[in-house]
Amino acid sequence: MERKHAVPLVNFVACQLVALFAAFWFRIYLSPRKTSPEVRHTFATVFGIYFVIFCFGWYSAHLFVLVLMCYGIMVTASISNIPRYSFFVAMGYLTICHISRIYIFHYGILTTDFSGPLMIVTQKITTLAFQVHDGLGRRAEDLSAEQHRLAIKVKPSFLEYLSYLLNFMSVIAGPCNNFKDYTAFIEGRHIHMKLLEVNWKQKGFHSLPEPSPTGAVIHKLCMTLVALLLFLTLTKTFPVTCLMDDSFVHRANFLTRLGYLYVVMQASKPKYYFAWTLADAVNNAAGFGFSGVDKNGNFCWDLLSNLNIWKIETATSFKMYLENWNIQTAIWLKRVCYERVPWYPTVLTFILSALWHGVYPGYYFTFLTGILVTLAARTVRNNYRYYFLSSGTLKLVYDVVTWAVTQLAVSYTVAPFVMLAVEPTISLYKSMYFYLHIISLLIILFLPVRPHAHMQRQPQTLNSVNKKKAD
């Protein structure tokens, strides 16, 4: 059984390493200066399709079927229906695959399978559909500044569509990105556009510099190696199965359980750090992912980064933690759901996130608990944070306490996500006396709600910005 699980994992790592070398070759020998966009699109697509077939065999047909169906929607549906039809077809197909993979074909829960690429493609399909609608079906003044920047004025060609969805840099492990950024990268405008935002003459440059991703790639590969070492040591020493042991559930005292839960959840992170950082390095090696220049004048290659490890480990709020974990998925949820639904944005966003991840019961325990914790944390922050901003000492105390609370709350909330099944989740929460659920409910029920925090959800449209300027 372990060998069955190991084969897809080995294929995944092998493909990502080959993709890394192919990305360097792609940037050097198929650079936009030497090669047409059509050739770059074609190479990225063909190589990506090969990777998917190599990793997943005939199961890769699911990916191709979904892509072709949604391209059919793109070219035949009315502009107003493109995002609606694309969203329901992509999410519906993904959900059917999740269900069949688990409950019909009985895939092992540790297997690296075709649902990963399907999840990434679903994000890209829906992102592209909404951005086409923003560009062709909505008035410019009704869009937020970000929606206006990313809006697509011309439907993509079939080659562009395939390249965006199936390119070898992101088809296996992502991350999701924007169609405009991707086509700018293919056409050689990606870095130039970001550099134009800086006045280089003031910095003593007579022409635009040419940032190299090599340093960023080496740095990320070093982080990948560290994550791999932690996975082979820490993760193997404190497996998730420890949380199901009788000695943990029934014999250890509450504080011991609390501390051990934190350690086990920490030990489950390195595999994500490894996969996402390696995927980021692959894109950077190809020359994709340049985000501009920071305040110190350093070139940044974090446009496609999926996590910020430092901010995750030092997060002082549930919101800060989530914003730096699986960043591109959080951005996708914000752009296709949170900013667009007219009511219950937090609840609907958590539900969409759960559906996208899959149908294991543990996912829904995590996301339902996450809704409670998010609402409770927001209420506490809005009611009490300003009391601690009057002095540096009070602010430090507040940061230390909120860091500890955040890390423990995250461990409690995400435990079902890695345990997956109902029985061990209920057993764990019983052993913890459902303490976080109870505290969160009491906070929501008895602390006053400050409505202005919710009002900040809606992004400013160009129309509202113009009205403020006129005032």
Residues serving a catalytic function are 326, 357
**Phi and psi angles of residue 167, each rounded to the nearest 5 degrees, phi first:** -60, 150
| Rounded Cα distance, 162 and 165, in Å | 5
In terms of phi and psi (left: phi > 0; alpha: psi -120 to 50; beta: otherwise), the region of 296 is alpha
Q: What is the CA radius of gyration of the chain?
A: 23
| Rounded Cα distance, 265 and 272, in Å | 12
- 8 A C-beta contact, residue 288 and residue 190: yes
Strands 299-300 and 292-293: antiparallel
Q: Token digits for 236? A: 């193997």
Query: How many other CB atoms are there within 10 angstroms of residue 6's CB atom?
Result: 13
Q: How far is CA 407 from CA 315, 383, 412, 413, in A?
A: 8, 21, 9, 10
Amino acid at position 148, single letter:
H
| Rounded Cα distance, 220 and 218, in Å | 5
CB hemisphere CA count around 285 (13 angstroms): 25
| Rounded Cα distance, 129 and 84, in Å | 8
- 8 A C-beta contact, residue 305 and residue 177: no
